[in-house]
Amino acid sequence: MTGKRWTVLLGVLLTIFLALSYVENVAFFNNLKNVFENPFLAISVIFIHNVLAVSLIFLSMTFYVNLVLTFFPKKRYEYIVLEHPRIFAFVFTAMIIVIGILRGTTLLYGGVSIEALPLILLISTPVALIEGYGIYLTIKKTLGRTMRIKDMAFIYLIFLVSAVIEVSFIYALIHLSEG
């Protein structure tokens, strides 16, 4: 398959998976309360949700790399992200973490609660650091064109550990609030 056809196919797949991720997100957040009735189900669902999210990031970054390399002549602006993958990975990861924390606040309080934000930041920091590292690696390795199967397996393992810690924190908070 030629570079142009492959890039177009990646773009079509990305569009399809973006639509499917919207459906998954709605289902995930609508059933989140039911999922936490069983800790193993909660770990599995959160892990799968996170793996889908990081896989979508991988697909979108792969599409971007192919788009730039295939359709844009080597100009200054199109290659900035490819020439500096660490910086872009760090900035993009920080944006994802901040948006995730704000979304969590919105889910809990129906909006961003400034009063509760310090507590939410304190509670979510360990998980955010672990997930952030997985997102950072995904972006950096994809943009740097160094992603291998073993790297992806390691990234998925990071998200499994993150899911276990996240569910453990949530169950600890539930038990602390009841007691």
Tens digit of each residue's pLDDT (9 = 90 or more) over 7-43 = 999 999 999 999 999 999 889 888 888 888 899 999 9
- For 4, 36, 79, 142, the CA distances from 67, given in Å and listed in that order, are 8, 41, 11, 13
Q: Which residues contact residue 79 at a Cβ distance below 8 angstroms, ignoring those fewer than 6 apart?
A: 68, 72
pLDDT of the residue at 165:
93
Residues near 116 by beta carbon (within 8 Å), at least 6 away in sequence: 105, 108, 109
Distance CA 162, CA 169 (A): 10
pLDDT band at 179 (very low <50, low <70, confident <90, very high): low
Mean pLDDT for the stretch of residues 117-123 = 78
Q: Is the pTM of this model over 0.95?
A: no
> 1-10, 13-22, 44-53, 138-147: which range is least confident on average?
1-10
Q: Which residues of 100-110 are buried (b: 16+ CB within 10 A; e: fewer)?
A: bbeeebeeeee
pLDDT score at 125: 86
Looking at residues 157-175, what average pLDDT do you find?
89
Return the pLDDT at 124.
Answer: 82
Q: Can you read off the two tokens belonging to residue 79?
A: 């290659």
Looking at the structure of the chain, the number of domains it has is: 1
Residue 105 has pLDDT above 80, yes or no: no
Residue with the bigger pLDDT between 112 and 28: it is 28
Q: How far apart are CA 60 and CA 74, in angstroms?
A: 20
Average pLDDT estimate for 67-92? 88
Q: What is the pLDDT of residue 6?
A: 93
pLDDT higher than threshold 70 for residue 143:
yes
Give, in order, the Cα–Cα distances in Å from 124 to each of 26, 99, 128, 143, 162. Answer: 22, 12, 6, 27, 11
Alpha-carbon distance 142 to 146, whole Å?
6
Choose between 69 and 105: higher pLDDT: 69
Retrieve residue 53's tokens.
């999210």
Q: According to DSSP H, which parts of the chain are helical?
A: 3-30, 32-35, 39-71, 80-83, 85-109, 117-143, 149-178
Domain that holds residue 93: 3-178
